[in-house]
Amino acid sequence: MSAAALPALVQRFFTDRLCVQMEASRHTVAGYRDTFRLLLKYASVRHGKPPVKLTVEDIDADLIADFLVHTETARGNSARSRNTRLAAIRSFYRYVAMSDPTWLLHCQRILAMPNKRYVKRTVTFLDADEMAALLAAPDRTTWAGRRDHALLLLAVQTGLRASELVGLRCGDVTLGSGAHIRCIGKGRKERATPLRRETAKVLAVWISDRPDENRPLFPSIRGERLSRDALEHLVRKHCLTAGRACPSIGSKRVTPHTLRHSTAMDLLHHGVDPAVIALWLGHENVETTQIYIHADMRMKEKALARVAAPATPSSRFRPDDKLLAFLEGL
C-alpha cells in the first residue's frame, strides 16, 4: 500500500462509507470529522510530516492510545468523549481492513483497544418549581422572548432532543383535535408526540405569524434554523434569569438535554410506565429508560417505607473468651 493511500482512504471513508453506504446523519459525520482532524494533526506532529504524507502504518495502536490520553489530559475530554472518538477510529479501521486485507493485523490491534470505564452518574433534572421558573424567565413582550418561551415549553413537555428541536419545521406541528408534533429522531425513527392543550395554544399563536410550513419552527433572528450552540446559549441565559426566582436552579448545570431528563422524570413521578416513557422519548431500548428509575429518589423512599426494619437487639457485643475479653479491655 502506498504512502498516498491513507488520505485516499480517509476521503473514501467519509464520502463513500459514511455518506453513501451508511447514510450517516450530519451529526455523526461532524463528530467523525472532528475526531480525524485532531488525530491527523496529532500524528503529523509526532512524525514530523504533513497529514497528506502520513501512511496507514504511521497511525498504529500505540499512537492512537497516546492520542486518546492526549484528548483527556491536554483537551480535557471526559472518558465518554474519549470512547466516542475511539468508536470513530474503530469504524475507520474496520473499513480499512475490508478495503485492503493486507492491513488486517494492523487494524485488529486497533479494533481490540477497549473502551475506558467511567462513573455513571445520576441524571440531572429540574423539579416542577424549577421548570415553572424557567418557563417564566423569557420576556414575552419581545419576539425573541415569545420564541424562547414556546421552545422551552415544547422542550419540557415533549422531551425532544436538541437536534430534534432545532430541526422542527412549522409543518411538523398538527393543531386542533389530537394536537401533536412529528419529528425524525435518532436512527431516523419518526415519532409523534401529543401536545397538552396549553402547549398547543402557545404554538398556535406562535405559528400564526409564519404560515410557510417549510420554515423553521424556531428560527434565528435572520430567519434561519437555530444552531445547537444557540440553543444551549438560550437555555443557559434563561436559567440565569430563573435563578433569581428559584435559587436551586442555579446549583445545577442545565443543558437542553437536562430538559429532556426533566420530562422523563415528570412522567415517571406521575406513574407512567417506563416502557411508555421509552416510546415517548424515542429510546431504541427500554433499558435506556432505567437511568431515570435509578435517579428517582421518591420511588426509593416509597420502597423503603414499605420495608419494615429487622427486629434485632441493639445490645453491645460481649466476648465470652478470656483472651478476647483481655483484648477488648485494652
Q: Which residues are catalytic?
A: 161, 186, 257, 260, 283, 292
- Residues in the chain with pLDDT values less than 70: 1-4, 210-211, 294-301, 303-304, 307-320
CATH of the domain at 149: 1.10.443.10
| Cα–Cα distance for residue pair 152/136, rounded to 1 Å | 10
Write the pLDDT tens digit of every residue in 290-299: 777 766 666 6
Residues 156 and 275 both lie in one domain? yes
- Element (DSSP H or E) covering residue 130: helix 128-136
Residues 273 and 300 both lie in one domain? yes
Residue 314 lies in a domain: no
pLDDT at 303: 65
pLDDT at 5: 82
Residues 219 and 258 both lie in one domain? yes
Residues 172 and 57 both lie in one domain? no
Which one, of 63, 279, 72, lies nearest residue 158 by Cα? Answer: 279
pLDDT at 210: 67
C-alpha cell at 258: 437536562
pLDDT at 2: 46
pLDDT at 147: 95
Host domain of residue 103: 5-111
Distance (Å) of CA 292 to CA 125, 267, 282: 10, 10, 15
pLDDT at 190: 86
Residues 84 and 183 both lie in one domain? no
Residues 106 and 137 both lie in one domain? no
Residues 134 and 266 both lie in one domain? yes
Write the pLDDT tens digit of every residue in 207-237: 987 667 889 999 999 989 999 899 999 999 9
Residue 124 lies in a domain: no
Residue 260 lies in a domain: yes
pLDDT at 313: 64
Residues 190 and 90 both lie in one domain? no
Q: How many domains does the chain have?
A: 2
Residue 320 lies in a domain: no
pLDDT at 67: 97
